[in-house]
Structure formats: C-alpha cells, structure tokens
Chain A
Amino acid sequence: MKQPTRRTILSAAPAALAFGAPLLSARPARAAKSSGPGVTDTTIKIGNTCFYSGPASSYGTIGRAMAAYYKMVNEQGGVNGRKIIFISYDDAYSPPKTVEMTRKLVEQDQVFLDAGPLGTPTNSAIWHYMNQHKVPQLFVSTGATKWDDPKGHPWTIGWQPNYQSEGRIYAAYVLEHKPDGKIGVLYQDDDFGKDYLKGIVDGLGDKAAAMLKVKASYETTDATVDSEIIGMKAAGCDVFINTAIPKFAAQSIRKAAELEWKPLHILSSIGNSVAATLQPAGLENCKGILSDFYLKDPTDPAWKDDPGYKWWVAFMDKYYPGGDKTDGGNVYGPSNAATIVQVLQQCGDDLTRENVMKQAANLRDFRVPMLLPGITINTSPSDFAPVKQVQMGRFDGERWRLFGPLLTGAVG
C-alpha cells in the first residue's frame, strides 16, 4: 500500500479504460470466400443478445441455458466437425443497447448469425438492420406475430407459437364447445395483448360480432382487474378468455371465484404457470381452467419417465448445474438452440448466410426432446413460424392434464 504505486495504478485505470477501449481492435481479416463471416474449417461463431441485467433479467437464464446447450454440442464433436463459439451480450432489455451489441456481434465479432435474440422491443430495434445487412436473425425468442413475414423481412424468423395463432386456437375451441357462448376477453393494452385479441377475433370470423360481448383491457400499472371481471359477469358472459400476465391472471381467477362466476375459462400460455399464477390464485379456484401448451412443463410429474424429460434433466445436471429446474426458460433455451444446431447441420459445408435462411425455411418434422409429444417443427419459404402446434390442457386442481389432439392456429 505504498502511496505512489497505488495512486498511479488507480488513476491510470479509468483513463485507460475510457480512452483505450474503442481504439484497441483493428479491422479483422475477411473470412474465406466460400463461406460466410464467422466460419472457419473448425469453428462457427454465432451470437445473440439477452437480458442478463435490468428489469427483465429473470429471463437471462434462457441465454445461459442456450450456452450450456452449445457447450454440450461441442463436447459431442460439434456440427459437422465444427465447434460452435457462442457469444451472448447483455442488452438489459434496452433497445438502443441491443442495436449497439448486435452491431458489435455483426461488425466486430463477425458472427455468422444471430441465434435466438430475446425480447419483442429489442428484436424490433434490430429488425431493419439485420434485413438491410442480410444477417440471419434466427428463431427470435418472442411470441409477436410480426416475425412471420418471409416477404418483407426474409432474414428474420420466429420460433414459438405466436400470440395470434394461440388466439385462433381459443376461438376454435369455443366455436366447437360453446357455439353460442358469450365471450369476455381480458387483454393487456399493448402489442402482445392486441395480438391475442386479433387472433381471437379472426378465429371467430363472422361470429365475432355476435359472440364477443366484452373486450376489457388493463394496463400493467393498474392495481386490480376486479372491475373488468365484475363487468364481464354482469354482461352475462359464459366464456372467459384470459390473456393476462400472471399477476392479473391470478387476480381475475380469484375475483371470478369470489363472485361465484363459473364461465368456460381459457387461460393463455402467458399466464399458465402453476407457480406464478395458479398457486397465488388458490389451486382450488383453478379447477377446470383450460390452457394451451407446447413445451413440457418441468414441474409436471407426468413426465418423470419420459425420455425427453430424462434427457433434459441429465443435460441440466451436467451442463447447467446452477440452473433452476422449475424455470420454463431453461426448457425454452436448449429447445431453441437445438433448432439452430439443426439448421447448421442441414447447411453441411455450404455455410453461407443465404443457405442458412434456405435451411431455416426448410425444416421438416424436426423434433426437440422437450416439445410435447407429437409436436414437430416445420417451415417453408412461405412459412416462417416454426412451432405452430399446441395441445390443450385442463387443470385438475393439482396439475395440468393435457387432452385432445394437437391444434394448429397458423396465421396466414
């Protein structure tokens, strides 16, 4: 702790960090002609942005689980002999930071593609850039419907069932089981809520005007949704499509029970977590509620002997031992990453960005262990919605029981 040394070191550090950082890296060498940037004979460099800090950092586990999956792939020999180098940057759910970090990935790190970047506003911010620079923005981790736009944005493709197609599925279910029901919809007053509403309205078709009695919206800042629920009961609704986030979904279930209002209650996949919604709402109040699923719920004991579930547990134990095995994000991450690996595998040695988009639009009956039995991933040049099928489930007071056939609500 001698004075001069300490002072020099401490004073030099911030200066070096501020002025040195932008100047350090020179222009990197161009990649080989036959393959895209980021590809060598032994490696493929890919990247994404994710929220490891900030208001939505609980989703950060998705990025960690993806990294764990790529680690596993590398240990098993990589993709066609090439190891995957996965770079994931934190954007803290801030769109300007997403732009900065994505440009860093594309221009400085020279990644081959953007693999499963997380979030709707964040992906919207780079949507234009990626398509302008013809960099694949593969399997974005968001349920907005706009990602399925092969004509306008041929370099961007979604992954999970989008909200509009879920909305259509609910409408189809109601049309089949309660053709003259009076429907009340609760939705969040923003893009995802409106996506759901549009799907429901489209799905009901010309019966929408007659059946849709109440369209009640809430803001995330509202204290409760009690008055909306009371309004639905008063309007005589006997079908309740509840697309609220967990906090409000739980409130509405409680309020409905209090009012002894017993409609056909459909809960969207946004709010169907047992831990986040049903337990706070009181499990006894949730009996008979319907919802839709596409991934296996890791907390559901029904899967304990399922080979896909067993694979997932083994994967988590070995490659992501710190990960929470009740967190759906840890099911989502590896499932999304597996689809990326499949695309790279299909590319063979023709590792150009054009071929990546060609193969991403050419997935045929691809299976991922943690997708529900029977659900497969399919795409085509005119279909950029990889996971389309879902299965309905009914809550029996303890857990979700899946029933019925796989349903598709594809938009288009």
Chain B
Amino acid sequence: MTTPQQDSGPIAAAFRARARGAAWPTPRHWLLAGAVAVALVLPFFLQDFLVFQLTEVMIYGLAILGLNLLTGFNGQFSVGHGAFYGLGAYVTAILMSRYEVPYYWTLPAAGGICFVVGFLFGLPALRLEGLYLALATFALAVALPQVLKFHGLEAWTGGVQGIVVDQPDAPSFLPIGEDQWLYYFTLAVVLIMFAGAANIVKSRTGRAIMAIRDHPLAATAMGINAPLYKTLTFGVSALYTGVAGALGALAVQFVAPDSFGLFLSIYLLVGLIIGGMGSLPGCLFGGLFVLYVPNLAQEVSRGLAGVVYGVIMLLVIFVMPSGAAGFTRLVVARLSRSGRREPPS
C-alpha cells in the first residue's frame, strides 16, 4: 500500500514548485514523511466519524487535484468537474450493485471510463477558449443529474432513488473497523495518484502542459502538439476526478442524482482556488476547505450560514490571493529572508 521508494522523490519534488535539484533528503522530504506518518496513525486516535470526514477530505482533495491538472497546470477552465465525479461514483455503484464487482476493481473502471469521456469531451473543447470552455463544461454539470434521472437508463442508475452501495469490509486479518479501512485504502490511492501527478508535472509532458498554459503559440512553435496534450490532459483530469468520485461512493455508501448537482462543481472550483492553482499539496487544503468551512459557517450562524461562508471565503482570498500554497511559499520566503537578515543587525 505504501508507494515504491522511487516515488517518494517526485512527491517531495512536487512540494517545491520549481525543483532546484537539492540534495536528498531535503527538509521537504522530512516534512512529507512526517505528514504521511501522522496520516497513518491518526485513525487510532480519532472517532470513526472524524476518520470518515478525513477520508472525505482526501477524496475532495483528489477531485480537486484532477481539476488542478486541467485548470491549474494546463489553463483550461472547467466549471463542470462535478459531472466526472458523479460519473465515477455511478460507475462504482453500478458495478458493485448490479454486477457484484469487488470494490477495488471499480476504481480502475471508473478512472478508465472517465478518461475516455473526458478525452472525448476534450476534442470539441479544443475549439473553445476561456469563458466559452467554462460555459461548455458548465453544461456538463447541469446535464448530468438529468441524464441520471432519465428513465431509459433507470435499470442501471436506479433513477431518482439512487443506488445503495455496501461499505467495503476491512480484511479479516486487520483489527480495524470499516471506516478506518476505507481511510487507509483512500490514503493509499491518494498517495499513488498524487505521486503520479507529481511525476507528470515534473516530466517533459508536464512542462509541455504548462507551456501550453503560459503561451500556447510559443509552445506550438517549439513543436508541442497542443491539441493532443490538451485533450490528453482533459482525459487525465477526468480520470483523477472520476477515481475520487468512485471513492466518494464507497465512503458515502449511496449515490443519487441530487448528490452531484451544480454546487459540487462549484465547490471543487472553490477548493482549487483556495488551495492554490498549480499546487499539488494545495489540493488537500482545498479539500479541507470544501468539507469543513460550510460546517463552520453553520456553527457560527444557521440563518446566515451563506453569508458567513462568503465572508470566510473573501477573507481567505484576501489573505491568500494565490491560495494556501502561494501563501505558504510567501511565508517561508519571508521567514528565511528575515532569518538571514537578523544576524547582521
């Protein structure tokens, strides 16, 4: 379940936005190792419910990572990623409930189907830029709940009633509960997928993807096949979000058209911007924001929860205009600068 040794390098490399070829292990490696260690022991100290919430945070983080690959790294806007999340969730639910496929096999299936759908959607999307692409993806998010309710598909989707999904049991040799098992399973999937994303971003492909974002014309002039990279990025992005949706179906144990409305897509976008465009760890922060801030707003005032949510969002954007990741970078830079300046004075 832990990632192979060679992966720990690239993950850590992702922590620094621009790799500087530092020696191994750097403080960032230690930070990452510490974070994984904390994540591994946490379930033993928390209630099942909190373990479940943290699982959801990771799942939203993964969904946001998918959106980030597309929007943050490739510069293509999507206001409809909730649709891929929903698609992934439904693939898992249908495979598990109708065809009795074991839950772990449903993840590759969900990812694969979402990749194909995302890739195909990416083809017409090539002709659309910026706001127009945002509108097209918006249509995807609006359409999905309707499609799921369509009675021609009801034999699979269960229509408005949705589908109940059984929570995976922990393997009998492990003395842990279902929630803890799902947490570890999700953690493993998330680590692998983040490592994969870090590899993509750091590679030649990743540089091509970012070059298209920064200057499409220059990228093409350098010999990058922009249409191919853009559609592939769309597919991979959908794959990531689809796998997150599949995990979401396992965690929530229920899928229904109303679970994947327009708001889901918007929350993913909010999580992306709050976490930081083009940052991998920022995605997890985005996940935390998506899950906890509505609850926090509700605790402050039920009647004005929407207002409180808005105020928190404004404050966060005001304080961290480049997201949590940019903010962290800024703080680290300031601290090290003041640290260096202090001794002389």
Residue of A94, A107, A120 touching B47 (CB-CB under 8 A): A107
> In this assembly, does A11 line the interface, its C-beta being within 8 Å of a C-beta of chain B?
yes
Q: A89-B298, A90-B305, A95-B252 are in contact. Are A14 and B162 (CB under 8 A)?
A: no
Residue contact B298 to A54, C-beta cutoff 8 Å: no
Whether the Cβ atoms of B161 and A90 lie closer than 8 Å is: no
Q: B280-299 vs A: 1/0 string, CB under 8 Å?
A: 00000100110111111010
- Are A95 and B56 neighbours in the complex by a CB distance under 8 Å? no
Q: Cβ of A326 < 8 Å from any Cβ of B? A: no
Q: With a CB–CB cut-off of 8 A, which chain B residues contact A21?
A: 292, 295-296
When distances are taken between beta carbons in the complex, the residues of chain B under 8 Å from A103 are 48-49, 52
8 A Cβ contacts from A12-38 to B: 13-14, 17-19, 21-23, 25, 27
Question: Which of the residues A53, A88, A99, A121 comes within 8 Å of B160, measured between beta carbons?
Answer: A121
Q: Assess whether B164 is in contact with A127, with CB atoms less than 8 Å apart.
A: yes
Any chain B CB within 8 A of the CB of A311?
no
Interface size class of B (residues with CB under 8 A): 35 or more
Also in contact, A94 and B292, with CB within 8 A (given A18-B285, A124-B162): no
B151 interface hit (Cβ, 8 Å): yes
How far is B254's CA from A108's CA once the two chains are assembled, in angstroms? Answer: 21
Min distance, Cβ B58 to any Cβ of chain A, angstroms: 12
User: In the complex, which residues of chain B have a beta carbon less than 8 angstroms from the beta carbon of A25?
Assistant: 47, 50
B56/A94 in contact, CB under 8 A: no
Residues 94-105 of chain A, each 1 if its beta carbon lies under 8 Å from chain B, else 0: 111101100110
Q: How far is the CB of A209 from chain B (nearest CB, A)?
A: 22
A95 contacts B292, C-beta separation under 8 Å = no
Cα separation A90 to B331 with both chains bound (whole Å): 36
Q: Is A366 an interface residue (CB 8 A)?
A: no
Once the chains bind, are B162 and A95 in contact (CB under 8 Å)?
A: yes
Residues of B within 8 A of A365 (CB): none
Name the segment of B8-16, B183-191, B313-321 touching the other chain. B313-321
Asked whether, in the complex, the Cβ of B319 is within 8 Å of the Cβ of A11, the reply is yes
Tell me, yes or no, whether A180 is within 8 Å of chain B by CB.
no
Partner of A190, one of B56, B160, B291, B315: B160
Q: Which residue of A lies closest to B142 (CB)?
A: A221
B124 CB within 8 Å of chain A: no
Q: Does B248 contact A (CB under 8 A)?
A: yes
- Is residue B132 contacting chain A, with contact meaning CB distance below 8 A? no
Determine the distance from Cα of A128 to Cα of B318 in the docked complex, in whole angstroms.
43
Beta-carbon contact of A94 and B315 below 8 Å: no
Q: Is the CB of A94 within 8 A of B253?
A: no
Contact B316 A14 (CB under 8 A): yes
Binary A-proximity of B298-315 (CB < 8 A = 1, otherwise 0): 100011011000001001
CB <8 Å contact, B259 and A94 = yes
**B-side contacts of A221, CB under 8 Å:** 146
A-B contact pairs, 7 of them (CB 8 A): A11-B331, A14-B315, A53-B305, A94-B258, A121-B160, A121-B258, A122-B258
New contact pairs (6) apart from A17-B292, A94-B264, CB-CB < 8 Å: A18-B285, A22-B46, A23-B46, A121-B258, A125-B259, A190-B159
| Chain A interfacial positions (CB closer than 8 Å to B) | 10-11, 13-14, 17-19, 21-23, 25, 27, 52-55, 88-90, 92-97, 99-100, 103-104, 106-108, 120-122, 124-129, 189-191, 219, 221
